[in-house]
Chain A
């Protein structure tokens, strides 16, 4: 049962072959067994999950079930969920029980899905290895000495280890795609504005986007049907017709133009990664696709641009965590300024503080023009590169990450090395485009390799089609770690 797809689970539930309570309990048992090793979940709350499962069973019995009714879905701990501890991976929110639901959470609740628990993540989504979480590092289920990637590392590990049917992630610079690649699962970052950010704790507001993580493109499409949609509470949410993301899954790929940016295949990429990606491209040719060489000349600037803009927004977004109204407050302080300083010094981890300082610096009087404004200009150039490229191709492909999963602690002392692990994913966020990662083989040490697929704005259905056809022809996505 734990290897079943979402549509298989939905069918089994509707056919009463299994109840939601049984299915939920199965996953809860598996979490109880494996989470001590993987540390993929920060919070599980069997009582609340099973209460939802009972309600789902009633709905199933009444015949009013939707596609995901009764299916246990794990939620990244960045989403506020009513009655759930919502920590965002930080000590700062160690005691924050949300009084309200994020839009994404209420969409799942309305669909009758079960909230199976809150997954571990880099603190405030700042990290690429899940090592910055206040609740401890997450282990990669393929090799527990290695990182799962980040920041949605808990979600990626949970999906890979079959601790949930599917889960949510968020992606600011690659936080869905990179851990999906490193854990051998599928993940989609939609076009900016497709999923509401309401109730999703902000890291960098102009880049943050929620998306599904699962074991197949088909599962992602079903998740997107629930997660996507206009929400008037998010001013950057896009008002569009509701769409069925499964509609194009079975279209043939004959004539599909795949753009390969030469910049993505230059130095820096591991040879094992290159080999797997090339094999995937050969498979696509077999499926009828044609390869087009393209160039994204400004993409090399995306890491420095990102590390100006994201910290700038973060430094302001994280100001609300001041110990005044909720969250962590230092036990002792002498006056107001001291309370702020101690609460924030003790409540935030090193990476978060580093980014707050970078962001504060680039927004400061006298530096704003040189850093923030300049970065905004280059951001527009990066987006233009993609617009230009999409006149020549339908999708862009390349590696998701330059290497497979690295060892825990390996890049801990070198933030720049860590930042470079998102070198292929960041440009997509800066442009606001949809991007996904699907498993395409194994590299050194038998660790999974991810293929990145980048689409034009609102082309998620086509990307899911491109991924699904590959998954019909290969079985990388159904490989499971032995744990």
Chain B
């Protein structure tokens, strides 16, 4: 490959606190404009910020989940610039002393093209820091004027900055997805991308192998993985074309237009702000004791990577199954609850969840949290498959009924008479009857026409109204036919 792509991400995750990072105003999404803008959100003269401990706790969770150093002392700084939706004329953020230091995230990359195989990669996280969100400028119907909605102003954000470790759109998307899974997994962000809870800025540059880093352009505010991939693909090609046509890439901030699929510069380095960062004198340095860190560590759930490893090593699942089951905490929880102590059934349980359950959810447009059957219901059914009460085809019927009408597996099996016949005497009687009624075919079979075996199985199943235990039936039939 002639060009190397270098990508780093800055992800703004909205932390799931009920109130703002520096005031008691609500952070709920979708309220009437400015109804969640209290005195602090409006930046009235004289108001002061008071740090929300819940936001700090979430930052600590993130740091612990990525193996990062949590700073015992970090500092809030003011980032000064004028904008109508930035009420104080500065954003409270963290600058040279962030709360979360270097960490890392291991991702599974599925190449987008060709036959390339999925692979694992570790992306280094430079830092993560706490800051407040700005409000919104509304360019709707205000008689030619701009409206300002300060409901979002002061919503807590954790800005997660990666090293430029990614070398393709596929890697960038895989990293963003892994981060998206992780922040929801550890319960610090609802991950709602439509509502802006998870927004990605992507820094892209290209270079020839062995050359120093090229000039980067930053694609701002991507709120879907699909757009991210399109934007990176377009941007990379644009940069390569620019250089190959004798031009030079200028450092710039660009926006992606989903309608045209293009990126376009919104401001160049020349208009870059001098933010005049300095420590916010209204806030004391943030002190985090080791006790607090340990206390938070004690509340962290098992992380996706650890779970994946456990599913492979202890439960014998494939890497693929393990990664699908850990793609969200809801799915992993569902799997574990359905499985219960029956670890020998892990594979069949995984198959049902990855197969039927996911397919049905997909068809009905639901996510795991809205699943109409509980893990306990599914588990009950798996138990009945394992103990031979129902056949696979019986199980499918149980599942369909459960999904549509509810009820436990046992109740459905009872009501629909799906219990399979495992009484060998009964099956033998049935087989004897078939053999005597089809002497001609039996003779053909015995003379070497093996293919007829299926014909006998079909007859026997039909005679048992589908309830004969298939494995048992096979055994008995084989024995009797062979005479």
Contacts and interface: CB of A to CB of B under 8 A. Distances in A.
B337 interface: no
Nearest to B79: A316
B276 A363 contact: yes
B87 A320 contact: yes
A206 interface: yes
Nearest to A124: B45
Interface stretch (A115-123, A193-201, A275-283, A347-355): A193-201
Contact of A235 (B45, B49, B78, B148): B49
Q: Interface size class for chain B?
A: 20 to 34
Interface stretch (B36-44, B416-424, B466-474): B36-44
A325 B45 contact: no
Q: Is the interface of B mostly helix, strand, loop or mixed?
A: loop
B39 A99 contact: yes
A88 interface: yes
Contacts of A313: 281
A88 B45 contact: yes
Contacts of B284: 235-236
Contacts of A26: none
B73 to A, nearest CB: 15
A197 B45 CA distance: 11
Given A236-B284, A360-B276, A364-B276, A102 B46 contact: yes
B282 A320 contact: no
B43 A320 contact: yes
Contacts of B50: 232-235
Contacts of A265: none
Interface string B390-420: 0000000000000000000000000000000
Contacts of A324: 84, 87, 148
B37 to A, nearest CB: 9
A80 interface: yes
B48 A198 contact: yes
A39 interface: no
Interface in B266-320: 274, 276-278, 281-284
B80 to A, nearest CB: 5
Contacts of A322: 82, 84, 89
Nearest to B137: A336
A372 B45 contact: no
A368 B46 contact: no
B47 A199 contact: yes
Nearest to B80: A316
Interface string B161-187: 000000000000000000000000000
B119 to A, nearest CB: 41
A206 B282 CA distance: 7
Contacts of A199: 46-47
B51 interface: yes
Interface in A73-87: 79-80, 86
B445 interface: no
B48 A197 contact: yes
B52 to A, nearest CB: 12
A200 B42 CA distance: 16
Contacts of B84: 322, 324, 336
A340 interface: yes
A232 B347 CA distance: 55
Interface in A127-168: none
B90 to A, nearest CB: 5
B88 interface: yes
Most buried by B among A100, A235, A236, A368: A235
A365 B45 contact: no
A111 to B, nearest CB: 20
B89 A320 contact: yes
Given A80-B45, A198-B46, A325-B43, A320 B281 contact: no
Interface in B36-72: 39, 42-51
A80 B46 contact: yes
B281 A100 contact: no
A365 B274 contact: yes
A312 interface: yes
Interface in B88-122: 88-90
Contacts of B276: 315-316, 360, 363-365, 368
B278 A316 contact: yes
Given A236-B282, A316-B278, A364-B276, A98 B80 contact: no
A445 interface: no
Contacts of A223: none
A341 to B, nearest CB: 10
B287 to A, nearest CB: 12
A235 B282 contact: yes
A93 B282 contact: no
Nearest to B23: A233
Contacts of B88: 319-320
A326 B34 CA distance: 14
Interface in B1-46: 39, 42-46
B401 to A, nearest CB: 57
B89 A201 contact: no
B282 A325 contact: no
Contacts of B277: 363, 368
A457 interface: no
A205 interface: yes
A96 interface: yes
Contacts of B87: 320, 324-325
A102 B50 CA distance: 15
A233 B46 contact: no
A18 B277 CA distance: 56
Interface string A336-373: 10001000000000000000000010011100100010
A224 interface: no
A313 B89 CA distance: 13
A42 to B, nearest CB: 15
Contact of A363 (B47, B51, B80, B148): B80
7 nearest interchain CB pairs? Answer: A319-B89, A363-B276, A205-B281, A206-B281, A199-B46, A201-B45, A320-B43
18 contacts: A96-B45, A98-B45, A102-B46, A201-B46, A206-B281, A235-B283, A315-B80, A315-B276, A316-B80, A319-B82, A319-B88, A320-B89, A322-B89, A324-B87, A360-B276, A363-B80, A363-B276, A372-B278
Interface of A: 79-80, 86, 88, 93, 96, 98-100, 102, 197-202, 204-206, 232-236, 312-313, 315-316, 318-322, 324-326, 336, 340, 360, 363-365, 368, 372
Interface of B: 39, 42-51, 78, 80, 82, 84, 87-90, 146, 148, 274, 276-278, 281-284
Given A199-B47, A201-B45, 4 more contacts: A80-B44, A99-B39, A316-B278, A319-B89
